[in-house]
Structure 1
């Protein structure tokens, strides 16, 4: 009797087909090695829009899991998922993306005591685009300010590993699985599945994320850079900060601490007409990275 796996193997062996499987969440990825384990939380939110200052969370999922310093993932622990009534109508556009309707969230709320219990037992929170998720959940529960964060987009150098995109669905496809996305819990489960994989260079995705998220970053503020250099700065990866209360008005770039000297050489050679010895710099690590405070 021909099995599904036999057919898959036959198709794959031709070199003309790639078979992808529906993601089926598992309870364990790796047998116990005796290594010291930590608790990570994969987090995902759905919201009424993109701006954490004006929009509201309508769904939160927390999926905790065990991992060790080598990036091995062990047990997947019981998850928390909740809808929340934002107090305003959900737009048709957001419903089309998330599948969440006004009727689904009516009278619903996130249990912050339960959220606190999850966060108190964890060493690290991970999101796929933590720059989006962290400011939203910090507004919900301040304990998210006091824990290390990592991003499974920014803290894994996907492009250098040969991947042409960083969307979770695309990366899942490249690793041979698919799922029905844009609901918080399944997105978390897909994220953990991705972390369990091995990069083309041979390193576990989770190990690469741990190493990169443990760095210290420096934000260089290119204050008083000549206006005519704006396109050069943008091509270099600088972003514009329009300023405001307590915020600088200048071009800025975040980079690892060990690249600061080279960046200062570039700025003095290509941007500033006169030698600049010192520029404002902010240093931050995983405790502050992706936070609305930075």
Structure 2
């Protein structure tokens, strides 16, 4: 005999009951404060409540004891190629820090591109041709936030930095950090690195994909910390930005070794981005000798093989 369930009667709206403490059950909904309602839902074990992220307030002056300046930056563009696509929006939130500090400036600006905004970009960002008509990013105002920055942070700096440097010289020569690849989010209990995942698991929701809103969302995630006590994601990111890395190029590697290199984490450069036409990998500086030994023994099979190595700091990482 089969058994049929009516989801709308047996387990649904008609039979739904809210359980909780006896004191809570005897109070009318109108008498519950917002905190009471949230706590009551969470205590049932069946709900997870997300709070709308409210942007932090901007302070008039930096607080003493936070001597460094940072900027969280986000761009919206007409496409993925910084050589031909254009920025249509920049958002920037400035803050002071030692390991975390005050917000001291905010900028958000739209810019009309030379082409019509592709429909897929409008679907993703909500930015339409009508919104950007006649708009231009105020480079002077943006520069007043960016130029004092000791560190520029982007959630995918490998994308944002090339666009920004192509857009204005105010970004050239800055130290950059990437909040995707320079923080071990998995170790902090996060299930993904997309900003939407991070902000949701931190207990918030926000209006995503507009540049300055994403900046505030990222700031909130960076200063909170997930499940790892005692050290914020921002502290981890800042420490990572201070460490040098190396990029090793496996130039002229044997063709039949390409699968081995790919499996080890090497990426292919076709030479169009200004790098050598070769497989390459980026590593912590202290892993350099072990990697060169691997190349000599496993790839080239020649003990004297000496491959090109480029040392990278925050000033030249994430460039095009």
> TM-score with structure 1 length normalisation?
0.92
More strand by share: 1
Are the equivalent residues in 1 in contact too, given 2:188–2:225 (CA < 8 A)? no
Among residues 145, 155, 176, which one is paired with 1:128 in the alignment? 155
- Tell me how many residue pairs correspond in the alignment: 287
Q: Which has the higher contact order (CA 8 A, sep 6+)?
A: 1
Task: Report which stretch shifted further, 12-21 or 38-47.
Answer: 12-21
Alignment map for 1:88-99 (pairs within 5 Å): 88-99=115-126
Mapped partners of 1:277, 1:162: distance in 2: 41
Are the equivalent residues in 2 in contact too, given 1:242–1:248 (CA < 8 A)? yes
1:230 aligns with 2:258: yes
Are the equivalent residues in 2 in contact too, given 1:43–1:125 (CA < 8 A)? yes
1:34 Cα shift? 4.9
Among residues 119, 125, 136, which one is paired with 2:146 in the alignment? 119
Are the equivalent residues in 2 in contact too, given 1:268–1:276 (CA < 8 A)? yes
Long gaps (5+) in structure 1: none
Q: CA RMSD in A?
A: 1.9
1:205 aligns with 2:227: no
Are the equivalent residues in 2 in contact too, given 1:219–1:281 (CA < 8 A)? yes
Long gaps (5+) in structure 2: 1-30
Equivalence for 1:152: 179
Alignment CA distance shift 1:163-1:267 (3 Å): farther
Alignment map for 1:214-293 (pairs within 5 Å): 214-244=242-272, 246-292=274-320
The structure that has the greater radius of gyration is 2
1:24 aligns with 2:54: yes
Runs (4+) of structure 1 exceeding 4 A deviation are none
Mapped partners of 1:23, 1:267: distance in 2: 48
1:13 aligns with 2:43: yes
Q: Secondary structure at the match of 1:45?
A: strand
Equivalence for 1:161: 188
